[in-house]
Amino acid sequence: MGRFAPTKLDLDGKVILVTGGTDSFGRRFIETVLERYAPRKLIVYSRDELKQSEMQIDMSERFSPEKLKLMRFFLGDVRDRERLSLAFRGVDIVIHAAALKQVPAAEYNPSECIHTNIMGAENVVRACLANRVQQVVALSTDKACNPINLYGATKLASDKTFVAANNLSGDIGTRFSVVRYGNVVGSRGSVIPFFQRLLQRDVQELPITDVRMTRFLITLNEGVNFVLSSLEGMHGGEIFVPKIPSMKITDIAAAMAPGVATKVVGIRPGEKLHEMMISADDARNTVDLGDRYAIEPAFVEYTRAPLVGGRLAEEFSYASDTNDTWLDGAGLMHMLGEGAARERRRRADD
């Protein structure tokens, strides 16, 4: 099942809802759950009817009629609390993946980003509590740690909202946790598909924002496994951070297009040279769990067993430029090859 895969998670008979379920993560998460488990119901909650229609067609070509009977497609926006409350009735587990994610768009349209990422998070929390949802995992981003752009700031506020929600659940018992990871290899909006599109047009050079830039990298399958295993191990209030490799942007370009020249075009508005997932201040409350870190809540007014793991050094921080694990060109191509192989297997099964 791959890296970060859960070992004892049982989703059979559960009703699971994914906000933003038609996006890259949501689709892969839903496919994975259908392949591995037998949930009672699997609900896609999103606002784009075209994406939902396309997803239904794709799913009908991939899965048996028995599996498709488990699926529900619910049109709605996380900005709409009443619609969320309707959708969450009878739901056991919520995976909150809906967000506005594009950094430049958020810089230009701050109120839209705030309404979806912050107020939407508050709406999800209230709907979960109103419907006595058992477990909630919210997806975050490395940009939420020491944010310098609006997207990162809104996701930090979202993270704080979900962590603090555990103090509100009382006898309802809903538990909320967060997962935070880096750039997803091959997902929409990442640099790799962007380079691939340029190379298909036979460009003579690839644009590089800054030769010093580094990024954390994780595959889509690893991201799904990480969410599932965090769901398995959560106690409530944790921000789970995977141990994943870093890579230089120049090495990404060299691996994908050997011999093709690069051109420095400058950093985009709100962009960092290096990404960070755990700051030195966060490290005081962070536990090393082996294949991941967990930032535990600093303020707890609910019953919660502490996670068992090693404590970090006083000045520890987890950043893409000081990471202990690095990916080279061969490693990146292996990552991309694994994704392509999975897609070929999927098509062969259709």
Active-site residue numbers?
Answer: 143
Rg of the Cα atoms in the chain = 20
Question: Which residues have a Cβ under 8 Å from the Cβ of 191 and sit 6 or more positions away?
Answer: 183, 215, 249, 252
Closest CA to 101 of 68, 56, 147, 150: 150
Q: How many residues does the chain have?
A: 350
**Edge to edge, what strands does the sheet with 310-311 contain?**
71-75, 41-46, 15-19, 93-96, 135-139, 175-179, 239-242, 292-295, 286-288, 310-311
Count of beta carbons in the 10 Å neighbourhood of residue 316? 17
Q: Which amino acid is at 200?
A: Q
List C-alpha distances in Å: 134 to 16, 225, 248, 328, 347.
10, 20, 40, 41, 35
